[in-house]
Amino acid sequence: MEQFRLPKIPMPELALPQAVLDVLAEAEQKLAHRPKLLKQFKNCFPNTLETTTKLMDDGTTFVITGDIPALWLRDSVEQVIHYVPLAKHDAGLQRIIGGLIKRHIRYVLIDPYANAFNESANDWHWNTTDETDMSPWVWERKFEIDSLCFVVRLAYLYWKETERTDIFDAGFKQAMRAIIELFKTEQRHFEQSPYRFTRNNGIPTDSLRNKGLGMPVNYTGMVWSGFRSSDDACDFHYNIPGNMFAVVSLRQMQEFAEWVFRDMDMLAELKELEADIDHGIQLYGVYRHPEFGPIYAYETDGFGNYCLMDDAGTPGLMSIPYLGYVTADDEVYRNTRRFALSKENPFYYEGKAAKGIGSPHTPPGYIWHMALSMQGLTAQTNEEKLAMIAMLESTDADTGFMHEGFHADDPAVFTRSWFAWSNSLFSQLVYRAMKDGLL
3 vs 199, residue with greater confidence: 199
Consecutive H or E run containing 75: helix 73-80
**CATH number where 285 lies:** 1.50.10.10
Helix, strand, coil percentages, rounded to 5, for the chain: 45, 10, 40
What's the rounded Cα separation, in Å, for the pair 9 and 418? 12
Tens digits of per-residue pLDDT, 232-258? 999 999 999 999 999 999 999 999 999
Any domain includes 9? no
Q: Is residue 212 domain-resident?
A: yes
- For the cut 90, the answer to whether the pLDDT of residue 287 exceeds it is yes
Establish if 335 belongs to a structural domain.
Answer: yes
Let me know if residue 242 belongs to a domain: yes
What is the spatial distance between Cα 243 and Cα 127, in angstroms, rounded to a whole number?
Answer: 28
Answer whether residue 82 shows pLDDT above 90: yes
Evaluate whether residue 102 is within a structural domain. Answer: yes
pLDDT in tens, 8-29: 555 777 899 999 999 999 999 9
| pLDDT class of 345 with cuts at 50, 70, 90 | very high
Structural domains of the chain, count = 1
What average pLDDT does the segment 301-312 reach?
A: 98
* Phi and psi based region of residue 365 (left: phi greater than 0; alpha: psi -120 to 50; beta: remaining): left
Q: What is the pLDDT at residue 12? A: 72
Is there a domain that residue 183 lies in? Answer: yes
6 within some domain: no
Computed over its alpha carbons, how large is the radius of gyration of the chain?
Answer: 21
Note down the domain range covering 157.
18-435
Go through the chain and tell me how many residues it has. Answer: 439
Domain assignment present for residue 290? The answer is yes
